[in-house]
Amino acid sequence: MDIHNSHSGLPSTKWPSVCRYEAFLSFRGGDVRGGFVEFLYEGLADSGIIAFIDRCGIEIGEHIMPKILQVIGHTQICIPIFSRDFASSRSCLKEVEKMVECDRTIMPIFYDVSPSVVGEQKESYQQSFRDHEGKGVPLTTINNWKKALQIVSRRRGWELEKCQDRQRELINEVVSTVRRLLRKDDLYVTAHLVGMDQPVQEVMRKLGVGYENGEVIRGQTVKGKRVVEISGLPGIGKSTLATVVYNKIHHLFEGKSFLKEVEQTRLLSLQEDLVGGLQKRAYTFKSPAEGTQFIKYKFGDLRVLIILDDVSDFKQVNSLAGDLSWFGPGSRIIVISRRNNLVDDCNLVPMTSTSSSTVNSCDDIVIEKYELKQMNGDHAFQLFCSFLREKPLKKEFSSLACEIILAAGKIPLVIEVVGSILRGKDIKFWKEALDRLNREPYTKEVKRILKRRYEDLDKNAQEIFLDISCFFVGKDKTIPSYMWEACKYDPYRGIDELHDSSLVKTRENNKLWMNNQLKVLGRDIVKEENPSVPFKRSRLWNQEDVEPVLNERKDWQDVAVEALSATFDKPHLFPKRRFFCDFSKLRYLKMNHAIVKAYKQSAKSSREDFFLRRLKWLEWQGCNDISSLLALDMSKLIVLDLSGNTSTNWQCWKQIMKRAKNLKVLILRDCRWLTKSPFSHAPVNLERLNLERCSTLPTYVVRSISKLRNLVSLNIKFCSFVQELPEDIGSLESLQTLSLRNCRSLWKLPDSIGNLKKLQVMDLSSTIVDEIPSSVKDLQNLKELKMARTHIREFPGGIKNLESLEEIDFSGCRNLRGECNITGLSSLRVLLLEYTDISRLIVTDRQSYNPQNLKLDGDVPISIIGTTQGHGIGSTDVRLDHSSRLTDITSASCQLIFVQ
């Protein structure tokens, strides 16, 4: 990088001493700065790649070359841009030498010179080295530079003159390659991945993608247009196969989108997700017709990869990607289905036909099919043992394991369920399971096996399972647990039972998850309650079933619906009596785009006039008039979610809160027109309050927060009205989570914050807080302290002895300097100090394997204080090795492990 031209104009924004960059750009400024380099840098940034460029990465007055060489040593990918005068810059030559020395991933760009000129030092490069020699540069240094150029010139890169569209085409390809190497677009794949090599290779062949030795052949351009259908038994691994393929080939496409659960998702949501994925930004459509028209005419020149998972009818595809003429040359669509003839309905006129494909020769469109077969015995056994968590398997269990795998049909989902059930059980239990599998063979589909697991559940656990499968997959389990508790379903015991049976899992952020086949099982069980009459089922979630139930006027005396999700693609108007009065058993109601005529209560109205007396959960997103809630009996209401409501009249809010006297959860997220204080009228029993993005609330409303003495969680993120918290917030004795992220007017915390004895999570990120009170030393239950991008200046001494503290995030706190002493934090496992100026980290040898996640900037010295072998008490200094890999740092008897 030409350091002589690095600092023209105004000073740049200050960056920390060394940042964990993902790419380093090396160039001769006079040749390419202001044009190509700027466009490349912006392209990388727009794609989410953190690249180093001197004008942003170096502070005026800082020692330039040591900083640059340090950054190269800590950066994964280096991109030297060779121009005619590149070799005239000693700085540029030093950078290339450092790249080779550190064995970085080097991706050269030959801007206006050929690789031979660079590698053999011809033409301008030859003259540049003569000049260096004439100015007294040692011969050994010059030889090292030449050797480095020779090595880099042999690396595969790009030559600008060979790109048809010149700079634009080259920049797009560079960005795409860097994203692929950094695996930026990869989707999650289960850790228990067995037996996928051959299926992946076969699908690649049908996609027309060059694939060798487990990798996609570099530099290829996919041609033509293809639809590939992946079919197979439920639970056999179709979605996993498609995900693996997606991760390997998505870099070949200009736009990509993986749509899951097509059969179960509203068309409008699918269209918005598809367009958002292809264009990398959110879209909202008023109707499916508008979405179809947009997709049809927007992507005609774009090479796309679209994967549609869980499709039962090709009609579900028609409004998404039903015609390949909508997309550019080289596009691929993968459709995943239980059927093996789904693509027979594709809108293509076959010109020629082969055993497994249909070809339209006019448009070079190919339709392929692939049926995923059962795993072989070895792979199935390997997968089974991974869920048992026992290696090697005891001899007396091995033969039984083989029989169980065979009885399970070698289907991964069944193997997982059975393996999880048998973990730690004795041989009698194994034999019983085998007998059960033989009685219920896999040939009658996985559903029968999984249904037996459902039938073995306690009645309350069954109810929870059905609720999750119909409404709560991907949702935080905390909120529905309030409803289940009010229904006497014993949620803590029930969820544990579901976990133990491998029917439900809890993933990151406390979200409930289940395999798609299990979700289908739960919904099928509900449908079987009455296949022909939807209103006699316990739960309704499908728009096709819900709409006629709400619109048809009948004298229904036996409506069985307990839980209803009435979400529509466009606004629906319902009279309040028709909407409310027939659902006397309703305990859960979710509405979206439902407009119910406002309820005008007469002075003589009594409790008998109110509807939905059993209702415990009301989620009404986009409610246009909250006075409609006055039609309801809210005495048993536990959860009220009015997120995104557009009501401008809040005069009845006090009356609503007075009726909802047992409310535990109140969610008013994105209520832009909320002008009344939700604190002053909320019931004292309230435990969780979410006011995220309620930006129009006046500043004084936070003063009454202390009245909610039972509050467990308070979320007021992105609320500009919060400037400071009241001093009496410390009477909130039950508070466990305090979320103040992005309250950009918040500048201080009260001293009483230390009275929150039960507080476990405090998030102050992106506020202007510059210190925290010393009373935080009393927060003995605090587990997470997040203060990223705040104005804090020194590591707070008040937290140094909080033994429960597990995670600290001070990343991006650019005023944070000095020492970071964590010797008293015995439970700490995550410490984030990126983009700070911390000068030293002090730990003890008792913290041998903590923190497991440590992110620092630069060559930060680490002082280890404690007992060293045979030398009593002392301290030892080591330094963090930034190799972007698992690093062991050993000193005497103590060892630190850092994951970066």
Residue range 275-288, pLDDT digits in tens? 988 887 777 888 88
Residue 557: inside a domain = no
Mean pLDDT, residues 804-818: 88
Closest to 704 in 3D by CA, of 673, 728, 720: 728
B/e letters for 847-872, b = 16+ CB within 10 Å, e = fewer, are beebbeebbbbbebebbbbbebeeee
pLDDT cut 90: percent of the chain above it: 27
Number of structural domains (the chain) is: 4
Residue 687 binned pLDDT confidence (cut-offs 50, 70, 90): very high
Q: Is 656 left (phi over 0), alpha (psi -120 to 50) or beta?
A: alpha
CB-CB contact of 524 with 466 (8 Å): no
Domain edge (last residue) among 123, 151, 182 = 182
Mean pLDDT, residues 234-255: 88
Say yes or no: 252 and 298 in one domain.
yes
Say yes or no: 122 and 61 in one domain.
yes
Does 98 have pLDDT greater than 90? yes
Give pLDDT, residue 393: 78
Residue 814, CA distances (Å) to 74, 788, 805, 840, 860 in order: 20, 10, 23, 15, 15
CB-CB contact of 375 with 195 (8 Å): yes
Does 782 have pLDDT greater than 80? yes
Q: What is the pLDDT of residues 111-164, one digit of tens each?
A: 889 999 999 898 889 999 999 999 999 999 999 999 999 999 998 888 887 776
Say yes or no: 275 and 319 in one domain.
yes
Q: Which residues contact 593 (CB under 8 A, 6 or more apart)?
A: 567, 568, 569, 570, 571, 572, 622
Residue 78: inside a domain = yes
Give pLDDT, residue 850: 41
Residue 74: inside a domain = yes
H helices of 250-303, in order, are: 267-279, 288-298
Phi/psi at 516 (5° precision): -55, -35
Report the C-alpha gap between 496 and 484 in whole angstroms: 14
Report the C-alpha gap between 502 and 517 in whole angstroms: 12
Say yes or no: 251 and 313 in one domain.
yes
Bridge-based pairing state of the strands 511-513 and 505-507: antiparallel
Least confident of 191-205, 213-227, 244-258, 560-574: 560-574
C-alpha dihedral sign at 229, 231, 237, 239: positive
Say yes or no: 238 and 95 in one domain.
no
Say yes or no: 223 and 98 in one domain.
no
Domain edge (last residue) among 509, 529, 549 = 529
CB-CB contact of 225 with 327 (8 Å): yes
Q: Which tokens is 841 given?
A: 């980290």
Quote the pTM value: 0.58
Give pLDDT, residue 237: 86
Residue 331 sits in a domain whose CATH number is: 3.40.50.300
840 pairs with which residues across the strands? 819
Residue 104: inside a domain = yes
Residue 552 binned pLDDT confidence (cut-offs 50, 70, 90): low
Mean pLDDT, residues 766-784: 91
Give pLDDT, residue 149: 94
Residue 209: inside a domain = yes
Residue 412: inside a domain = yes
Mean pLDDT, residues 323-342: 86
Residue 807: inside a domain = no
Say yes or no: 216 and 309 in one domain.
yes
Q: Which tokens is 273 given?
A: 């997700």
Mean pLDDT, residues 233-241: 84
8-state DSSP, 487: T
Does 483 have pLDDT greater than 90? yes
CB-CB contact of 825 with 854 (8 Å): no
Q: What is the pLDDT of residues 486-531, one digit of tens each?
A: 999 999 999 998 987 778 888 777 889 887 678 878 998 999 999 8
In the block, residue with structure tokens 């994105």? 670
CB-CB contact of 16 with 857 (8 Å): yes
Residue 150: inside a domain = yes
Say yes or no: 481 and 405 in one domain.
no
Domain that holds residue 404: 377-439
Say yes or no: 89 and 217 in one domain.
no
Bridge-based pairing state of the strands 872-879 and 861-868: antiparallel
Angle between helices 139-153 and 90-101 (to 10 degrees): 60
Say yes or no: 287 and 420 in one domain.
no
Does 35 have pLDDT greater than 70? yes
8-state DSSP, 724: B
Say yes or no: 43 and 169 in one domain.
yes
Say yes or no: 309 and 427 in one domain.
no
Least confident of 28-42, 343-357, 809-823, 863-877: 863-877
Residue 43 sits in a domain whose CATH number is: 3.40.50.10140
Closest to 526 in 3D by CA, of 467, 589, 459, 460: 467
Q: What is the pLDDT of residues 421-454, one digit of tens each?
A: 788 888 888 888 888 777 665 544 456 667 877 8
Residue 605 binned pLDDT confidence (cut-offs 50, 70, 90): very low
Give pLDDT, residue 546: 82
